[in-house]
Amino acid sequence: MTRISFGTSGWRAIMSDDFTFANVKTCCQAIADYLQREKLAARGVVIGHDSRFMGESFAAECARVMAANGIPAYLCIRETPTPVIAREIISNQRAGGINITASHNPPTYNGIKFSPAWGGPALPATTSWIADRANELLAARQYREITLDQAREDGRLHACDPRPAYLEELKSKIDLEAIGRAGLKIAIDPLYGTSRGYLDQVLRNAAREINVIHDWRDPYFGGRRPEPAADNLAELVQAVRSGNADLGLATDGDADRFGIIDRGGEFIEANIFLALVADYLLSERSWEGGLARSVATTHLLDRVARHHGRRLYETPVGFKFIGELLTQDAIVMGGEESAGLTIKGHVPEKDGILACLLAAEMVARRGKSLGEQRDDLFARVGPLYSRRLNLRLNDELSRKIREVLAEPHASIGSFKVEEINKTDGVKFLLGADRWLLIRLSGTEPVARLYAEAPTAAELNDLISAGRRQFFNQ
């Protein structure tokens, strides 16, 4: 029997298998029940979708359920990025938002992200309540619905276009004049996703020249998962090289993640980029506040924080925890190694569009490539090299890994274990900013192995030792 379970970024499932109209409506009924329980229903819900197959149809079904429960539905008129929905929730004081998206997952997947009234990803207490309620309702398919026509007649269905206000707000967050003065040439790859008409539109009015690829809707994302990782950006690399561009900028399916290609075609790892942005904001903008990272994210951020005399907050994996710190005005920037970041004064949700624009601003204002800025940062705080591996699992392998992780470990290969951190998964701290973390994904049947070390050679040794010790590989 299907069970609805929320991971770090919502509920995700394979379409026509578990992700069906009936199950989506049941999940939405649980969200409606939650909003009524919290006495927020009258404020209404923003509903959007990404560019996956039948996204607008699933979003419309959500609107029918909300309207049937007396909750006004503000239905986005086109595919909409997750951070744009977050801004719409906050600026119009809505009760929350529902986005039909599976983010960077393969095109066979779809999902539901629920954002509560504060605009960030829902915290575990909220998603647990919604999942429990949805699973109570599943057996009997207990959900209310009315037709879209009836919802309109009742004044509970409204068309929503959050794009203009979001684009206008970006002007106060990014130094577009500096980008214009620098005369940058930029290649853009939205990976067929929701940032089409957002990132390119902003840069058309600032950069000297832009070249956009994959800027049409393709529910199959070119036959790949819409993740702006190095192995998915070969065409963007080619566009940067052939056009002699200063930067290549990419976003994932719902535009909350970024991918950055430097001058000459070098892929800039997310961990490196996060550290560069943090150092830039503290140096160039002189903002007050700390930095936040997930337990799986680079300790370069720790070094940047120490260099500037700021506090570093470590959170479990899941941007919800970083978003919560942002709402408390505790941090200048928060980031995750999975290519998510946000900054002070912005939405408490990761924003790939903002991240890409910050890359352009940094290159424009500093007059250096990101690779050159990385070398400068390493000279000041010392180098660190990191990597993540995704290892596919079945139920038996998952059980064995849990058993192995529960055993005591005095060393990982030749590296002595100095401390064990169980904030999220099991993280072995090995001294001199060396560490290895193993955690099971909340959204896919994979184990994630993360590692970091001061040299590339030590990083390779650490990863090899971790694979042998925990995965028998």
Domains of the chain in sequence order: 11-161 (3.40.120.10), 171-381 (3.40.120.10), 385-471 (3.30.310.50)
For residue range 257-267, what is the model confidence (pLDDT) as tens digits?
A: 999 999 999 99
Residues 6+ apart with CB under 8 A from 134: 4, 26, 27, 29, 30
Give the whole-angstrom CA distance, residue 29 versus residue 38.
Answer: 14
Backbone dihedral angles phi then psi of residue 159, each to the nearest 5 degrees:
-75, 140
| Strand pairing category for 415-416 and 419-421 | unpaired
User: What's 156's DSSP letter?
Assistant: -
Give the whole-angstrom CA distance, residue 158 versus residue 151.
Answer: 9
Give me the chain's average pLDDT, please: 95
Task: Please say whether the beta carbons of 7 and 441 come within 8 A.
Answer: yes
Instruction: With a cut of 80, say whether residue 218 has pLDDT above it.
Output: yes
Task: Please say whether the beta carbons of 43 and 133 come within 8 A.
Answer: no
pLDDT on residue 360: 98
For residue range 373-390, what is the model confidence (pLDDT) as tens digits?
A: 999 999 999 999 999 998
Instruction: With a cut of 70, say whether residue 1 has pLDDT above it.
Output: no
pLDDT on residue 394: 82
pLDDT on residue 73: 98
Instruction: With a cut of 70, say whether residue 92 has pLDDT above it.
Output: yes
Q: Which residue has the tokens 């020249």?
A: 209
Backbone dihedral angles phi then psi of residue 240, each to the nearest 5 degrees:
-65, -45
Average pLDDT over residues 288-311: 97
pLDDT on residue 443: 61
Residue 365: pLDDT band by 50, 70, 90 thresholds?
very high
Instruction: With a cut of 80, say whether residue 444 has pLDDT above it.
Output: no
Instruction: With a cut of 60, say whether residue 200 has pLDDT above it.
Output: yes
Task: Please say whether the beta carbons of 427 and 435 come within 8 A.
Answer: yes
pLDDT on residue 261: 98
Instruction: With a cut of 70, say whether residue 42 has pLDDT above it.
Output: yes
Average pLDDT over residues 224-238: 96
Average pLDDT over residues 161-186: 96
Give the whole-angstrom CA distance, residue 173 versus residue 357.
Answer: 9
- Give per-residue burial for 449-463: e unless 16+ CB within 10 Å, then b: bbbbbeeeebbebbb
pLDDT on residue 140: 79
Instruction: With a cut of 90, say whether residue 8 has pLDDT above it.
Output: no
